Structure 1
Amino acid sequence: MASLEEWHAVEPKGLAARILGVTVGFTIVCLLVVGLRVWLRLKLSTFGTEDYIMCAGVALNMVHNAVVMYGTFTGIGSPDSKLNTAIMIEGAKSIVLWQIFYVSGSLLIKTSICVTLIRIATQRRFVYILYGLIAMSAISTFIAILAVLVRCRPIAASWNPTLGTCLPQTIIITLTYVVSVINIINDFSVAIIPVFMLWNVQMRRKLKILTTMILGLGILASTATIIRMPYSSAYNNVTNLLHDVGNIILWTVVECGMGVIAGSLPMLRQLFKGLAKDQSSRDESYVLRARSGRWPSLSNGRTPDDHESPPDTETDSTHRIMKTSRGDASEGSTHTAEVVGTSWQTHKDTA
């Protein structure tokens, strides 16, 4: 029989189960959104610097999510009453890895969004502000990673204090607040700056609002940061450390996930536009046939509302032309709907 002090996986329950579920959900959504982004940008031959940076950020974020999911089986989000010393040590190791991949992945995700805005910025002051945000985030990230790596000597003492000595946890707590504040400033800035950038741009008002709203999703990421800030003091906990730090980890998953989504949706505008156009074509074709009183045959040979069989249809590989006689036969009136790809045109010829 295994000793109580041997490490073994813990079944995620309560907070641990919520962390696992949220992480799995954001992992799937982020991979789907970024996958569509990469496919569309490559197809349009517009794959650029911001896309490379976002892909690198998502790669780190996926490692981050994998560490978090593994961590829920090593005690993260679970109370001390469910753990033994060996499990707590493994859980503390997961926390160290999570800290490193969180700040590094978050930096690249936010940098990608800033680079995207730099590309469309027409005024130099916005470019300077965005570069300033990137520099500020990069410096804070470097300091945070350095603090995690050098706080304990050897580094293994970070998860097993009996192996060495460590500086006070207040260092990590202070850096957590600093990084959080910088993230909030960054998220709010990249949500507000597009409003001023697009204010005088010759663009349809509806498109301006849509673009601003999509980029404004970054505010949701900063909301997650604000929510997790009060939990930062959990690093000082003597008991239930892994459980309480789980609250911090949960909201970092949400923060990074929302950042990936907010940074990628604007790149998918062409895809949504194409889908909307295709749907519009189908709707218009439906309306034309409804107005003409002619419908396609159903599988049972009957037509809706017992209408007549559909008119003759000529089809080739590039377009489809539907001709329907309308009005008085003597007038020779013809209504033609031509569908080419996703566009349609209506012609009416009178003899």
Structure 2
Amino acid sequence: MASFPGMGGPPPIIDPEYAAESNATKLMAVITLFQLLSLITVVLRVYCRVVLVKSPGIDDLVMVLGLLFTLGGGWGTLLAMAFHGLGKHDITVQGADLLIFDQANFWLTILALLVGLGLVKVSIGLNLLRLSTSKWYKWSLRATIAFVIAYTFMACMTMFLHCDTVAGNWDYSQATGCYSIDLFVKFGTINTAFNIFTDVLFAVFPVPIIWTLQMKRKLRIYLVGIMSLGYFAVAVGIVKAYYQINFTLETDIKFTMHVQFWGL
């Protein structure tokens, strides 16, 4: 979630110990671990598809693009933010650091939390399309993919149109005509709700396909269990929604980074 115009101001007088406190190492360590796991998973997937099975598809390309957006727009942007206030208390980040941080946070939200996540979901849908045989099943998947693309696009538009000028999202001198924080939070929470809904769908969709495969019942149950890991994403989405719903301008955004943390 981006920062908001009006959060700047003259530097307050604060306790030096409070000013020195930082959560950056903890945030970067946990996010780096999960980003590394994502990288390894995608590399192994592409290796299996291209080298072992020799059957790459458009879904693999979309997944790689999703990874690039997440790594570049997410982890890479967070790394830059670490030099400009990430993990610090909000009132300690001022001037040029505040401007750079808010600009980076704006693009992190769009590139990683919106576009990157959307591409990953589209890739999952395309992969399931390759396995499906039922006409009804294919149309259900196509409708879900279209829904993901539509709400991801709309979420990006709510970011770009937050203020009269895009730069108003991070440059308070240009922050004119910005809609309210309450409306911004509602848009973000709706997007998260849509993500949770599609996570459930993509966890459920593979079950009928797996159950019709010619293999031992025990193995089918095992595969269904693996695909049910998608419910972990549902749980993460619920936690993210909790922090979005309880978000206010008094939230110590840069110190906690709750929404971005659970989004990545």
Instruction: Please state which band the TM-score falls in when normalised by the shorter chain.
Output: 0.7 to 0.9
Task: For residue 18 of structure 1, give the secondary structure of its aligned residue in structure 2.
Answer: helix
- Of residues 191-200 and 140-149 in structure 1, the stretch that sits farther from structure 2 once superposed is 191-200
2:120 counterpart (92, 96, 109): 109
How far 1:11 sits from its partner (Å)?
8.0
How far 1:138 sits from its partner (Å)?
0.9
Residue identity matched to 2:260:
I
Structure 2 partner of 1:203: 215
Task: For residue 114 of structure 2, give the secondary structure of its aligned residue in structure 1.
Answer: helix
Asked if 1 retains the 8 angstrom alpha-carbon contact of 2:110 and 2:156, the reply is: yes
How far 1:247 sits from its partner (Å)?
0.5
Q: Does 1:252 align with 2:260?
A: no
Q: Which has the higher strand share?
A: 1
TM-aligned CA distance change 1:49 to 1:78, over 3 Å: same
Q: Does 1:78 align with 2:91?
A: no
How far 1:116 sits from its partner (Å)?
1.2
Asked if 1 retains the 8 angstrom alpha-carbon contact of 2:22 and 2:89, the reply is: no
Asked if 2 retains the 8 angstrom alpha-carbon contact of 1:173 and 1:235, the reply is: yes
1:49 counterpart (36, 49, 58): 58
Residue identity matched to 1:195:
V
Alignment partners' CA distance in 2, 1:211 and 1:94: 40
What are the equivalent positions in structure 2 for 1:1-351 lying under 5 Å apart?
A: 13-14=22-23, 16-43=24-51, 44-63=53-72, 64-101=74-111, 102-165=113-176, 166-233=178-245, 236-238=248-250, 240-244=252-256, 246-253=257-264
Residue identity matched to 2:60:
D
1:295-346 per-position Cα deviation (integer Å, ceiling 9, x unaligned): xxxxxxxxxxxxxxxxxxxxxxxxxxxxxxxxxxxxxxxxxxxxxxxxxxxx
Alignment partners' CA distance in 2, 1:209 and 1:106: 28
- Aligned CA RMSD, in angstroms, stands at 2.2
Q: Which has the higher helix share?
A: 2
Using the aligned pairs only, state the percent identity: 24
How far 1:227 sits from its partner (Å)?
0.5
The structure, 1 or 2, with the larger RCO (C-alpha pairs under 8 Å, 6+ apart) is: 2
Asked if 1 retains the 8 angstrom alpha-carbon contact of 2:203 and 2:231, the reply is: yes
How far 1:239 sits from its partner (Å)?
5.8
1:274-306 per-position Cα deviation (integer Å, ceiling 9, x unaligned): xxxxxxxxxxxxxxxxxxxxxxxxxxxxxxxxx
TM-aligned CA distance change 1:12 to 1:25, over 3 Å: farther
Alignment partners' CA distance in 2, 1:86 and 1:58: 30
1:70-106 per-position Cα deviation (integer Å, ceiling 9, x unaligned): 2233223321243223322222112201111120011
Residue identity matched to 2:170:
W
| TM-score, normalisation: structure 1 | 0.64
How far 1:200 sits from its partner (Å)?
3.2
Residue identity matched to 1:121:
S
Residue identity matched to 1:150:
L
Highest CA radius of gyration, 1 or 2? 1
Q: Number of paired residues? A: 244
| TM-score, normalisation: structure 2 | 0.84
Residue identity matched to 2:108:
W
Task: For residue 27 of structure 2, give the secondary structure of its aligned residue in structure 1.
Answer: helix
Structure 2 partner of 1:343: none
- Structure 1 gap ranges (5+): 254-351
Task: For residue 211 of structure 2, give the secondary structure of its aligned residue in structure 1.
Answer: coil
TM-aligned CA distance change 1:130 to 1:99, over 3 Å: same
